[in-house]
């Protein structure tokens, strides 16, 4: 359809003057509303005020201005329907062939710390969504533009052929409906919060936009894509800047997220090496290089092809050590130029810079099931030492306390059933995802070997019986940290006392499925 008349009414004025100028140069009549009309008129571009079209002034502080048959009739009329054309002629309605509208900044308004309910309500757009939806519904004849980034392409098509191609009109309509759906989702989420429904409203609306298509999912026969939460500007993998290497895969993204969450647990320089979302090595040290060295030494075999996460800017020495290992990806808050000079020599290694994840009680952890999803708060808390209880006769030494707290942070990030053996601020053995806790302990203790003597052990959940404590004691473990809460806790405590092991109850479980 040739575009003869366009309605422009935007809150985001980016590019609107250039768009209006280009449309005018192509002979398109422009109609506009208050603020948009003022900007266009001040640029010296002829434009008709919407009230001249409707024959009715903007009223009620602008709440009513485009909700009018002269506007919606012009948008919704089916151009090749004789009855519609007769109605237009009878009521003197002129067609509107292009609608460029974006909405009141509701999301930006409610993000302000001092926003009032009244402010929020006044930024709920009514006429805008109505025009967008009308134009999108009638995409067979009308072009709708909600994204300023599309202006240039629309003008290019008009210059080339005088109209926007059907497939492009339909794509713009799809984008328009996504735009209004997201807008309503933000309003619904805000009002749910005002009603005290918290993280789990009766209807959950989640708005994500595609960041990239992925070559495949967990396996080559599975299609996949990565979606980013719309407008998310916070820290973490979603906003990571890739500095080097191949495109991230599905598994890379999952593992990078797991690795960075673990590295972010520590205030000290820390390094975590992840394989299949489980830490094969974690270490902290006085320097980042020392932390990385400990993480690597924990399990050099498993570290090969792993994901490395660091909680400090990567320096030259750390980069030199990393360069000696084949790694799929490295994520850190930043990389020094010297580090980049070393690491970018490997063209395929993915280097990602991102702000460290921060505790956020509003963040949701979502898992899908057939026909639904499970939603929960992300496990971003750790029991403080002051809330922990020593329940054995022997108290942990200061050195043991340091290692217990280290191991407790790590085991939180290991798939259940989970056991971590640690000493000298590094993991020595990790038992992950086992069907019983004794099996997980057996793997961790076997991996630690002789280093288990004098080390500590952490368990993500309670011991059903005293058998895991007995196995730990036989391997030389001197202190254990676990949530407690089993009906057989006394069995575990009795074994620990018999073996001279100090045992701490945290009162907080960290299952990770």
**Burial class for 20, CB neighbours closer than 10 Å (0-12, 13-18, 19+):** buried
User: How many CA atoms lie within 13 Å of 107's alpha carbon, on the beta-carbon side?
Assistant: 15
Q: Give yes or no: 276 in active site.
A: yes
Angle in degrees, CA 62, 64, 68, rounded to 5 = 140
Do 66 and 52 meet the contact criterion of CB atoms below 8 Å apart?
no
Q: Give yes or no: 21 in active site.
A: no
| Phi and psi at residue 486, to the nearest 5° | -80, 150
Q: Which contiguous run of DSSP H or E holds residue 170? A: helix 166-194
User: How many CA atoms lie within 13 Å of 7's alpha carbon, on the beta-carbon side?
Assistant: 32
CA 32/CA 11 separation, integer angstroms: 12
- Ramachandran sector of residue 433 (left: φ over 0; alpha: ψ -120 to 50; beta: rest): left
CA 308/CA 270 separation, integer angstroms: 11
DSSP bridge pairs for 284: 270
**Burial class for 188, CB neighbours closer than 10 Å (0-12, 13-18, 19+):** middle
Active-site residue (options: 4, 41, 276, 494): 276
Angle in degrees, CA 110, 114, 117, rounded to 5 = 55
Active-site residue (options: 21, 41, 137, 346): 137
Task: State the alpha helices, DSSP H only, in 331-397.
Answer: 337-343
Angle in degrees, CA 447, 452, 457, rounded to 5 = 90
CA 142/CA 149 separation, integer angstroms: 18
* Catalytic sites, residue numbers: 137, 276
């Amino acid at each position: 359809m040739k575009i003869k008349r366009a309605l422009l009414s935007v809150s985001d004025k980016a590019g609107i003057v250039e768009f209006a100028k280009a449309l005018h140069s192509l002979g398109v009549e422009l109609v506009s509303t208050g603020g948009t009309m003022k900007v266009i008129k001040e640029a010296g571009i002829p434009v008709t005020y919407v009230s001249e079209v409707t024959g009715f002034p903007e009223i009620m502080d602008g709440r009513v201005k485009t909700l009018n048959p002269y506007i919606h009739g012009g948008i919704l009329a089916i151009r090749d329907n004789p009855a519609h054309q007769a109605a237009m002629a009878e009521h003197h309605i002129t067609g509107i062939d292009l609608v460029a509208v974006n909405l009141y900044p509701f999301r930006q308004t409610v993000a302000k710390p001092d926003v009032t309910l009244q402010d929020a309500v006044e930024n709920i757009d009514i006429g805008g969504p109505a025009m967008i939806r009308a134009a999108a519904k009638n995409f067979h004849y009308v072009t709708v533009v909600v994204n300023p980034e599309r202006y240039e392409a629309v003008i290019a098509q008009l210059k080339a052929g005088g109209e926007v191609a059907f497939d492009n009109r339909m794509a713009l309509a799809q984008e328009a409906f996504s735009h209004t759906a997201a807008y309503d989702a933000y309003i619904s989420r805000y009002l749910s919060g005002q009603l005290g429904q918290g993280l789990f409203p009766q209807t959950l609306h989640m708005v994500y936009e595609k960041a990239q298509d992925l070559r495949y999912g967990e396996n080559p026969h599975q299609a996949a894509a990565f979606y980013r939460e719309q407008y998310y500007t916070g820290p973490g993998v979603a906003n990571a800047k890739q500095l080097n290497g191949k495109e991230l895969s599905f598994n890379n993204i999952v593992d990078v997220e797991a690795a960075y969450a673990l590295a972010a647990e520590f205030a000290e320089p820390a390094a975590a090496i992840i394989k299949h979302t489980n830490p094969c090595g974690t270490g902290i040290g006085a320097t980042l290089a020392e932390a990385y060295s400990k993480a690597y030494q924990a399990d050099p075999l498993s570290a090969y092809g792993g994901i490395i996460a660091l909680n400090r800017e990567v320096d030259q020495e750390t980069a030199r050590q990393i360069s000696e290992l084949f790694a799929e990806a490295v994520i850190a808050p930043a990389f020094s130029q010297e580090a980049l000079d070393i690491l970018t020599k490997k063209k395929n290694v993915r280097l990602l810079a991102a702000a460290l994840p921060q505790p956020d009680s509003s963040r949701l952890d979502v898992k899908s099931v057939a026909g639904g999803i499970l939603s929960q708060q992300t496990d971003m808390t750790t029991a403080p030492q002051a809330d922990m209880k020593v329940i054995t006769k022997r108290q942990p030494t200061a050195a043991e306390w340091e290692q217990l707290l280290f191991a407790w942070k790590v085991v939180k990030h290991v798939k259940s059933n989970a056991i971590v053996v640690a000493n000298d601020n590094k993991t020595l053995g990790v038992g992950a995802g086992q069907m019983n806790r004794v099996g997980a302990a057996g793997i961790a203790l076997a991996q630690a070997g002789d280093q288990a003597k004098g080390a500590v052990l952490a368990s993500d959940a309670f011991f059903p019986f005293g058998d895991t404590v007995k196995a730990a004691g036989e391997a030389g473990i001197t202190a254990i940290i676990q949530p407690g809460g089993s009906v057989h806790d006394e069995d575990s405590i009795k074994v620990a006392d018999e073996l001279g092991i100090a045992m701490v109850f945290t009162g907080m479980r960290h299952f990770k499925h």
